[in-house]
Structure 1
Amino acid sequence: MPSPWHDPNRSPVNLVIKYVLFFFNFLIFLVCGAVTGLMAWILVEKEKAVLNAYDFFLDPACVLCLAGSVAFVVSFFGWYGSLREYVFFLAIYRYIMMFLFFVEMVFIVLIFVIVYVPESRNQLNIYPEDSLKEAIVKYRDDEDMQNLIDGIQELLECCGTSNDDIGYKDWARNPYFNCSTELETSDFGEFCSVPFSCCKKENNGLINYLCGRGMQKSTTSETLRSETIYIQGCFKSITSILQNNVIVVGGVIIGILIPQMLLTSFTGRLIEQIEMQMAKWNRQQMR
């Protein structure tokens, strides 16, 4: 059988590779375009003011808008380049995918070191939970941020951001929940309390939304706290979950990285095939 290089009636371009790249990236293009548009509309409607990095990265709408925009642009290079067999766009797509893969690998190694080698945190001076304490301070400033924090605390059954068993004390940083004398004399309802999302479910499966009141007072026993609210910090909860589910975490990582590796490999192969086709055309024109 003659090779594609010598057969003038057969293209070296593999249609399976071409259209797998096209359909996969076109689907991402449509989904991310819709997500980006929706998040942008939400930010405009609530008149979001971004004053610093915390305001941006602690707002789900901002993060989703950024991630959606990046994926929207990257997938455009992928589907348009594969459909039109445009080598320049495919090369851009491939380099971006390789860069993202490298960044993800660095992030995975960093997470592995932080979670599975705890003593290295002190040596490297890495304390990611400290950067999240700003979310505690801004809890009441943004409804979306508030819902995100409440959702995380309910899901992970934790309270506060710390990597210890007294994470509930982090809420003393919030001006509405701290134990200042001014709030106490004004009979403020949330004085020395924690949010309802720290509350444990009762025997009937319901939550007492007022159970967090006064949980930071020094007169409240640690036993009563542990029976009423979750006292462990959320970062410790995440660490414990990751440590106890190594196989699941590994499976998720593989499930994320393998498709990226395949797409990057397919893109490189398609570029070679397109260049082979172009070279064949040039040879035919020279005859």
Structure 2
Amino acid sequence: MTEVSAQPQSSECIACGPFLPAKAGEGADSRMTFRPHLASTGGKLVRFFTPFLKRLSLKKGKGEEDERSPLVPKVNPGPLFSPFGDPGTGLPEEDQGRCDVLQPPSQSLDSFSYCIKYLTFLWNLLFSALGLLILAIGIWGLLDKESLGSERIAHLGSDPMLFFVLVGLAVSTISLLGCMAALCESTCLLKFFIGGVITFVILEILGGLVLYSLRHQIKDSLQNTMLVAVLRYQDDPDLRFIMDEIQFGLQCCGVDSYQDWKKNLYFNCSSPGVQACGVPASCCLHPLENGTISNSQCGFGALSMEEFVAQSVIFLGGCVPQLTRWLSSHAGVLGAYCGFLLLVEVGPLLLAIKLLAELAIVRAQGWQQVPNPGPPKGHLH
């Protein structure tokens, strides 16, 4: 049997090559050349990187196997959601509580929540119609008097119809926002609606307190305003309408007495017109003839009559004293009316708060039902 001699094979380190093959022409003893400094450095590098390379290789291989394995469920991470903006949602701190973050599909509302939803919608729909009606009246008044024209636009701030426009615009905007919020089940719109109603109620309460605390100054201001209405009775249709309604409703004439109409240019006794020494028809005791036809000349010549004669034709008392007595005698009714108005406004506010809470609970339950992707527990054999 032929003896086979084993030839020594060249050995080379993969990382740093501490053993290098001998060069041609060198002896057998020098076939392997050892370099100690390279061996030491290479060994440290190998020991440092080997654990990371093993982990990376295992993760990559395991992920590929999981993708190919039909037994491992593929679960997509659910959308980030928290109805209260909790820090444990995984959202960045600046994005918590934002309305544009994806929310899980909301579960079905129960019957009670649906009643709240549609009751909120109908209540706000009614207020929207009322606000749009007030807005239309204000715009119609401005257009009818041509207050938006270039010549009268400077006096727009003192136009009473501007008040109707602003109130109608505010009421219709907030109410339409409430309708959309309830119908779309939008938490963002509900929050805006709640904030708007709270602001509106606070402004009304503060306005009432200011009016009550400044009632004496308001009386003087009202007296001056009505005097301006007397002076501009024929020139401003709005002031004429307001003055006629006050005189007809309170059964009064003038500011402090019927003699105030002498300050009007047309009703002054020195005026050459047919209205000289007269008062408006709204001052008359019986402005309607036979109860149907308005007699616009019933007050003509009343300022030239003796007082005991004039009292059988017109009202002699002024409107400011009459208004003061009316407010004092109807204080309870006015308080009840203001309370009812606040109750009507607070009603949809409470419904919106309840609906917001119901939506938060339902969507939180929907989020809990979204499967949470976790690390694969292993393969089924």
TM bucket, shorter chain = 0.7 to 0.9
Q: Check if 1:171 corresponds to 2:222.
A: no
Deviation of the 1:262 alpha carbon: 1.9
Contact 1:35 1:68 in 2 (8 A): yes
Higher radius of gyration, 1 or 2: 2
Instruction: Tell me: CA distance 1:254–1:76, structure 2 relative to 1, closer, same or farther (3 Å).
Output: same
| Superposition map of 1:34-183 within 5 A | 34-37=133-136, 39-41=138-140, 43-48=142-147, 49-52=152-155, 55-57=158-160, 59=161, 62-112=162-212, 121=216, 127-160=221-254, 162=255, 164=256, 166=257, 168-179=258-269, 181=270, 183=271
Q: Check if 1:213 corresponds to 2:213.
A: no
Deviation of the 1:198 alpha carbon: 0.7
Three-state SS of the structure 2 residue aligned to 1:139 is coil
Where structure 2 has 5 or more consecutive residues not aligned to the other structure, the ranges are 1-105, 373-381
- Larger displacement relative to structure 2 (40-49 or 262-271): 40-49
TM norm structure 2: 0.58
What CA distance in whole angstroms lies between the structure 2 residues aligned with 1:263 and 1:105?
A: 17
Q: Residue 14 of structure 1 corresponds to which residue in structure 2? A: 113
Q: Residue 282 of structure 1 corresponds to which residue in structure 2? A: 367
Contact 2:107 2:362 in 1 (8 A): no
Deviation of the 1:84 alpha carbon: 0.8
Instruction: Tell me: CA distance 1:130–1:200, structure 2 relative to 1, closer, same or farther (3 Å).
Output: same
Contact 2:248 2:283 in 1 (8 A): yes
List per-residue Cα deviations over 1:189-228 (Å, max 9, x = no partner): 22233211111128986676434334445xx433333332
- Larger displacement relative to structure 2 (149-158 or 33-42): 33-42
Contact 2:123 2:348 in 1 (8 A): no
What CA distance in whole angstroms lies between the structure 2 residues aligned with 1:241 and 1:91?
A: 41
Amino acid at match of 2:319: C
Deviation of the 1:157 alpha carbon: 0.8
Instruction: Tell me: CA distance 1:226–1:269, structure 2 relative to 1, closer, same or farther (3 Å).
Output: same
Deviation of the 1:271 alpha carbon: 2.0
Contact 2:124 2:348 in 1 (8 A): no
Instruction: Tell me: CA distance 1:34–1:110, structure 2 relative to 1, closer, same or farther (3 Å).
Output: closer
List per-residue Cα deviations over 1:2-21 (Å, max 9, x = no partner): xxxxxx96647822221111
Deviation of the 1:73 alpha carbon: 0.9
Residue of 102, 124, 140 corresponding to 1:25? 124
Deviation of the 1:30 alpha carbon: 3.3
Instruction: Tell me: CA distance 1:271–1:133, structure 2 relative to 1, closer, same or farther (3 Å).
Output: farther
- Bigger relative contact order, structure 1 or 2 (CA pairs below 8 A, ≥6 apart): 1
Contact 2:178 2:193 in 1 (8 A): yes
Q: How many residues align?
A: 260
- Larger displacement relative to structure 2 (41-50 or 127-136): 41-50
TM norm structure 1: 0.75
Contact 2:276 2:301 in 1 (8 A): yes
Q: Check if 1:270 corresponds to 2:355.
A: yes
What CA distance in whole angstroms lies between the structure 2 residues aligned with 1:132 and 1:272?
A: 50
What CA distance in whole angstroms lies between the structure 2 residues aligned with 1:90 and 1:240?
A: 44
The structure with the largest helix share of the pair is 1
Where structure 1 has 5 or more consecutive residues not aligned to the other structure, the ranges are 1-7, 115-119
Q: What percent of counterpart residues are identical?
A: 23
Could you say what the CA RMSD is over the residues aligned between the two structures, in angstroms? 3.2
List per-residue Cα deviations over 1:55-88 (Å, max 9, x = no partner): 411x4xx443332222211111111111112222
Instruction: Tell me: CA distance 1:136–1:203, structure 2 relative to 1, closer, same or farther (3 Å).
Output: closer
